[in-house]
Amino acid sequence: MGIVVTGATGHLGRHVVGQLLEKVPADRITAVVRNADRAADLAERGVRIAVADYNAPETFDGVLAAGDKVLLISGSEVDQDRVAQHRVVIDAARAAGVALLAYTSAPGTLTASLADAHRGTEEVLRGSGLPYTLLRNCWYHEVYTENLAPVLEHRAVVAAAGGGRVSSASRADYAAAAVAVLTGEGHENKTYELGGDRAWSFAEYAAELSRQTGEEIAYREVTVEELTGVLTGAGLPEPVAAVYAGVDASIAKGELVVDSGDLSRLAGRPTTPLSEAIAAALKG
């Protein structure tokens, strides 16, 4: 039985493959990538590299085999037909007769348009007849901590989330949950609502940034429309900016609070506090 990870050189995929290498022999792991050059380091460690693209069904011929466990990491291009992209992998998995297909989805409470592709993919997966696991990942710490430069420059956290809270966790945390499913047993046809142990508000986020930087950083609450304008001004296409601003509207309604405890249970440890993610970002 092999373990196959799609999107393996993406932010989450690299964490998953790295953690898999700590648990299983490298020759049991297949990293599915669009560009083999970006996976050269994984190949050097003995990981099998398969070049395939969600937009080209024929590229998945021979990639998956009977008995494999597959992690389908959702496409990151929110302006694409992601359900069609994901169906390419699901169809290939069904044809191959894989043992399990795990999919990185979004919280079941999320009503923002960002969730539409995830709900559509879940429907395709449930109808496929494949044994599946839904990994409904909440937001990543890194969504906020990877681009602190404008926050620090303007000394403001700008969001349209009101007093809403976010159960974010680190990519490494979500990867640990995926690895537990891929290397464990009894996860067939299960849905896991995954989020950090402690939800935080944007006012708390600004306060923690202030504490760690020694600068006064405020939370500046804006409307969804104003945030869309800020994001387009930063270079995002308007439809993409609207999708991300819509997530803030969902946060304001409490839709990104996940209190199931599934993530820490699967990972076998507490989730990473936001303060640690901030500290790592400021250091690095």
pLDDT tens profile 231-280: 999 888 988 899 889 999 999 999 999 999 999 999 999 999 999 999 99
Q: Which residues contact 50 (CB under 8 A, 6 or more apart)?
A: 4, 30, 31, 32, 33, 63
Distances (CA, A) of 148 to 14, 23, 209, 228, 230: 22, 34, 10, 18, 15
- What pLDDT does residue 162 have? 96
Architecture of the domain delimited by 3-137+171-193+259-268 = 3-Layer(aba) Sandwich (3.40)
SS3 content of the chain, % helix, strand, coil (to 5): 45, 20, 35
- What pLDDT does residue 76 have? 79
Measured distance CA(56)–CA(18) in Å, rounded: 27
Give the CA-trace dihedral at 91, 96, 99, 102, to 10 degrees.
-30
Structural domain boundaries in the chain: 3-137+171-193+259-268
Measured distance CA(88)–CA(86) in Å, rounded: 5
Q: Does 79 score more than 90 pLDDT?
A: no
pLDDT tens profile 105-127: 999 999 999 999 999 999 999 99
Backbone angles phi, psi at 77, to 5 degrees: -90, 95
Measured distance CA(24)–CA(61) in Å, rounded: 25
- What pLDDT does residue 284 have? 79
N- to C-terminal Cα distance for the chain?
38
- What pLDDT does residue 78 have? 67
pLDDT tens profile 253-263: 999 999 999 99
Eight-class DSSP state of 74: P
In terms of phi and psi (left: phi > 0; alpha: psi -120 to 50; beta: otherwise), the region of 189 is left
